Amino acid sequence: MKRLEKDSLGEIEVPENVLYGAFTTRAAQNFRISGIRAKPEFIKSIALIKKAAAITNMKLGVLDKKTGKAIVTAADEVIEGKYGDQFILDVFQAGAGTPFNMNMNEVIANVAIIKLGGKPGDYHLVHPNNHVNMAQSSNDVIPTTIRLSVLFTLSPLIEELEKLFAEFYAKSKEYDHVIKVGRTHLEDAVPIRYGQVFGGYASSLSKCIVRLAASENSMLELGIGGTAVGTGINTHPDFKKTIISELNKLTGFQFYQGNSIMLHWSMAGFVDVSSALRILAIELNKISNDLRLLNSGPKTGIAEIILPEVEPGSSIMPGKINPSIPEAVNMVCFQVMGNDHAVSLAAEAGQMELNVMTPLIAYDLLWSIELLTNTVRMFRVDCIEDMVVDENRCAELLENSHALATVLNPYIGYENVAMLVKTALAENKSLKQVLIEKDLIPEKYLNEILDARKMTEPGVIDKRVVEEIRKYKSNK
């Protein structure tokens, strides 16, 4: 069964049992691109704006209370999650998100109509444009919607990051006594403690949390009330400050008025959030790469850490186990970096008084936040919590490394140390063994000088020992 609706393009058939109308029907026919629909937080955010607008217009005396209350009630039901199947539009659609805005206007209007005793499509009771969209435009509604939905979704991501930070911090305490070979250029370098390695990861994540929290501030500046181009045409003079006050009451956030002209075309706030997400992805990617390398083996690689076994690693090699979780983290990080590039290009595409790329910005931002939230949780629960450091393997590699030679520089000089390292490599001997054979340093000082723990932190060179070693060499 169909019902006939009419818009500025003419008549169009709309399915009888749906709550959307002519505009949504046309948009659904036009934009069959990805099959991906807007996220629930996005739908909830538009409905919150419609509710706040109706309350505001009633307070200002430009919307009758009977109609306004019906709109508020309908918006509340959408906010609660009802009618999700009525928001059918593809995330890739007409510029500025006009289809998104009209889909919401039509659904709320028809729900309100039913509550007032009418039938869907009886727009003389509640009109999608004249009543639900009163004092609004897609051009200020959709950017505001993105800001709300980002704020709703960033908090869970930050909470997950705080848990991952805490896990790495705990690992830094648990394994602070374990000394490993440092590696620069993928070659042996001076020693470092696993407590320091994991502490570095924790510090990096802490910085990411600070960046994300700071980027939330960019989402608090609103241009709602600017309508078409930011000037506020067709709004009551007090509309902007009143609707922002209502949104603060409804959400608990501390929104404030921004320059509506600027906020219609400037997407800098969204780039701010996207950049924080990109930096998080970069840091997570590096950490995951490290863990894959440190876990490599188990017999022919580094094998200093043991990651939890989560699945068989091969369809052909029995018993093979792969670092599957860090690999998945890598892939998500690449996607988030790509999303950030798309957001940057979209933000740059603003023209004159509007940036029409907001649907893309909304989708990529919310997708990145969702991907990272789920991935950080997976990384912590399925990888980091049960990660183990193989202390024996670390000691073995440290003992065989010649990078300890760096500590000898103040005592016998860089050139002499370089010759010792070359000899140790050529003769396949340990550094300490060559030092004893060359008799360059009194053996009583060797253990103290070659104490790997001391090499992992600053220290003052004992000038007395340096002088004694110099005299010892001279006497020889």
Among all residues, which ones are annotated catalytic?
Answer: 314
Cα distance between residue 180 and residue 198, in whole Å = 12
First and final CA of the chain: distance in angstroms? Answer: 106
Does residue 132 contact residue 126 with C-beta atoms inside 8 Å? yes
Can you read off the two tokens belonging to residue 401? 């490394």
Cα distance between residue 383 and residue 393, in whole Å = 20
Cα distance between residue 89 and residue 102, in whole Å = 11
Residue of 56, 73, 87 whose CA lies nearest to 116? 73
Cα distance between residue 141 and residue 135, in whole Å = 10
Does residue 142 contact residue 346 with C-beta atoms inside 8 Å? no
Task: Give residue 182's Cα distance to chain centre.
Answer: 29
Q: Which residues are bridge partners to 5 per DSSP?
A: 12
Does residue 191 contact residue 182 with C-beta atoms inside 8 Å? yes
Task: Give residue 269's Cα distance to chain centre.
Answer: 15
Cα distance between residue 453 and residue 466, in whole Å = 20
| CA-only gyration radius of the chain, Å | 32
- Amino acid at site 195: G
Label residue 208 exposed, middle or buried (CB < 10 Å: 0-12, 13-18, 19+): buried
Cα distance between residue 386 and residue 454, in whole Å = 29
Label residue 300 exposed, middle or buried (CB < 10 Å: 0-12, 13-18, 19+): exposed
Does residue 128 contact residue 21 with C-beta atoms inside 8 Å? yes
Can you read off the two tokens belonging to residue 329? 């983290």
Residue of 364, 414, 346, 3 whose CA lies nearest to 149? 364
Number of other CB atoms surrounding residue 384 within 10 Å: 24
- Amino acid at site 131: H
